[in-house]
Amino acid sequence: MATRAIAMEDEKTGEVTEAVYEHPFIIRLCHWVNALSLFVMVGSGLQIFRAFPSFGAKIPQKDLINWPRSLALGGWLGGALQWHLTFMWIYIATGLLYFGYQIFSGHYKQVLFVRRDVPGLWPMVRHYFFFGPKLSVREAYNPLQKYAYTSVIVLGVLSVLTGFAIWKPVQFSWLAWLMGGFHWTRLWHFLIMWVLLAFVFGHLVMVVLHGWNNFVPMLTGWKEDPEYRLE
Amino acid sequence: MNSPTDSRKFKSINRRELLKLTPVVVLGAFAIPKLQAPLLKAGLGFSDWASAKLFRSGHLAPTFADSDLTPFAKFPINDYDVDDPEVDLDKWTLTVTGAVQKPGDYTLAQIQALPKVRQNTRHVCVEGWDVIGRFGGARLADFLKTIGADSTARFLTVECADDYYESLDMAAATHPQTLLCYEMYDQPLTREHGAPLRLQIPTKIGYKQAKYLTSIKVAHVLDRVGYWEDQGYSAFYGL
């Protein structure tokens, strides 16, 4: 699906600007449902972790961290498992809908990091983090954005796979084996959560820095007066 | 590109697009106290239903070499009440009731007369830790044949000397690695580990593997699921 654009005339000034339909409905729906379910998965996951906050042996038990109950969801292990085992299906369903839509609509081209984005990656890092020059934009996402979004989607898939391997280490014994065994899988699952949280943090910082006009398109789909022109 | 549209029309397009997202608000039902418990119960129920579908009765849990075993001293002792419910081991019998042809009291010797299985398997606790232990006992499936259990029954329930209780779906009960376990690390079960008889089920989470068994019932319906399940844990929890 080619991205839609419209020209828009201000009825008072007569000035013509462009608006681009960046985020189709299904993508916006998946984004917000996923944001909520990720929040629930992290909160309940941390409560589950509180039951055994370690990656070592049970005897002797050496706790890694005393995670506060106030920063967790579910109140107790059983409650947290109810949240986790309920929202994991929502998390998975959202992911499947997202992949299905992206593939069949062809819209994935907007977000997928591909070989041709590689040369643009470092200049973008330089611009964001080392005061490098601002670069001209020709599409909705710059190479660094594509890299970040593509990675986070891969991590989302890995969070599900590691989760399944911990939940069903017998039925999916091959999966747990691939990840280095049950013990390691539990650690991967935990580390992936922190990387996802780091992404969310960076994502929110960028939303604040880049302002309203970058946030609204994830609600309405349309970006008014984008920096780039569709070719 | 289409012909220029005016900004008022654009605003109404935007409003329509925003309204399309209202289904997301449905998730807010989870924040309503009255709806939260039934919704989570339904979610857990779905999860258990899917778990039962994922269970393959012919698929064996991984087994391990003796060198992978967690030392016996480091095999955790988890109970909900007492380490030792003071079972009189000399007078102990297993009471069999329900949909069986031969109900009654069975001695440990009768259970030990069945073919003995020894296996090194992983024991996973719902808390998140796991150990690899060595277990010995009779296949529960063999015992069910001995007592003439109704093959159409769906569940098996057990009661324990410490008032713990549990239930198993028949697919797990008849799995070849599910044991009526009377040995750990080639020694008779110690009192802390559930003497004289416990369940050992490599395809289930730890809380399903009840200790200090006193009775077994073959049932078509369940009046109660298990000590932890009745407080909100997963009823199926297969690994």
Tens of pLDDT, residues A173-210: 999 999 998 989 999 999 999 999 999 999 999 888 88
Cα–Cα distance between B186 and B197 in angstroms, integer?
A: 14
Is A23 within the bounds of a domain?
no
Asked if A10 and B41 come within 8 Å (Cβ–Cβ), the reply is no
Comparing CB atoms, the residue among B7, B126, B228 nearest residue A10 is B7
Amino acid letter at A145? Q
Q: What is the pLDDT of residue A92?
A: 97
Distance from CA of A221 to the nearest CA of B (A): 7
SS3 A55: coil
B-chain residues near A177 (CB < 8 A)? 62
A97: domain range?
30-212
Is A16 within the bounds of a domain?
no
Please determine, for the modelled complex, whether the ipTM score is greater than 0.90: yes
Is A67 within the bounds of a domain?
yes
Is B154 within the bounds of a domain?
yes
Q: Which two tokens stand for residue A211?
A: 């302002």
Q: What is the pLDDT of residue B1?
A: 45
Is B78 within the bounds of a domain?
yes
- For residue B19, the chain A residue with the least C-alpha distance is A220
Q: Cβ(B46)–Cβ(A49) under 8 Å?
A: no
Put residue A37 in one of left, alpha, beta given phi > 0 → left and psi -120 to 50 → alpha: alpha
| Domain containing residue A76: CATH number | 1.20.950.20
B95 touches chain A (CB under 8 A): no
Tens of pLDDT, residues A42-62: 999 999 999 999 998 899 999
| N-to-C CA span, chain B | 55
Is A137 within the bounds of a domain?
yes
| Domain containing residue B220: CATH number | 3.90.420.10
Cα–Cα distance between A88 and A194 in angstroms, integer?
A: 17
Tally the domains of chain B. Answer: 1
Is B8 within the bounds of a domain?
no
B197: domain range?
58-231
Cα–Cα distance between A21 and A6 in angstroms, integer?
A: 8
Asked if B124 and A6 come within 8 Å (Cβ–Cβ), the reply is no
Distance from CA of B238 to the nearest CA of A (A): 7
Asked if B21 and A32 come within 8 Å (Cβ–Cβ), the reply is yes
Cα–Cα distance between A219 and B18 in angstroms, integer?
A: 6
Cα–Cα distance between A81 and A94 in angstroms, integer?
A: 20
Name, in order, each residue with C-beta under 8 angstroms of B236's C-beta and a sequence gap of 6 or more.
Answer: B48, B51, B52, B169
Asked if the model's pLDDT at residue B2 lies above 60, the reply is no
Distance from CA of A43 to the nearest CA of B (A): 14
Is B109 within the bounds of a domain?
yes
Helices and strands, number each (H, E), in chain A = 8, 3
DSSP chain B: -PPPEEHHHHHHHHHHHHHTTGGGGGGGGGGSHHHHHHHHHHHHHHHHHHHHHH--TTPPPPB--GGGPPPGGGS----SS-S-----TTT--EEEEESBSS-EEE-HHHHHTSPEEEEEEEEE-TTS-EEEEEEEEEEHHHHHHHTTB-TT--EEEEEETTS-EEEEEHHHHTSTT-EEEEEETTEEPPTTTTTT-EEE-TTB-GGGS-SSEEEEEEESS-S---TTGGGTS-SS-B-
Is A17 within the bounds of a domain?
no
Q: What's the pTM value of the predicted model, to 2 decimals?
A: 0.92
Tally the domains of chain A. Answer: 1
Residue A1: pLDDT band (50, 70, 90) is: very low
Is A177 within the bounds of a domain?
yes
Is A224 within the bounds of a domain?
no
Is B150 within the bounds of a domain?
yes
| N-to-C CA span, chain A | 14
Distance from CA of B206 to the nearest CA of A (A): 13
Asked if B46 and A89 come within 8 Å (Cβ–Cβ), the reply is yes
Q: What is the pLDDT of residue A138?
A: 78
Nearest in space to A134 (alpha carbons), one of A124, A142, A147 = A124
A-chain residues near B238 (CB < 8 A)? 168, 170-171
Is B37 within the bounds of a domain?
no
Q: Cβ(A118)–Cβ(A30) under 8 Å?
A: no
Is A112 within the bounds of a domain?
yes
Tens of pLDDT, residues A120-131: 889 888 888 888
Q: Which residues pair with B215 in a beta bridge?
A: B95, B159
Asked if A171 and B44 come within 8 Å (Cβ–Cβ), the reply is no
Please, what is the angle between helix A25-51 and helix A182-210, to 10°?
130
Q: Which residues pair with B134 in a beta bridge?
A: B120
Comparing CB atoms, the residue among B5, B43, B232 nearest residue A6 is B5
Tens of pLDDT, residues B158-216: 999 999 999 999 999 999 999 999 999 999 999 999 989 999 999 999 999 999 999 99
Asked if the model's pLDDT at residue B100 lies above 60, the reply is yes
Asked if A86 and B5 come within 8 Å (Cβ–Cβ), the reply is no
Residue B4: pLDDT band (50, 70, 90) is: low
User: What does pLDDT average to over chain B?
Assistant: 93
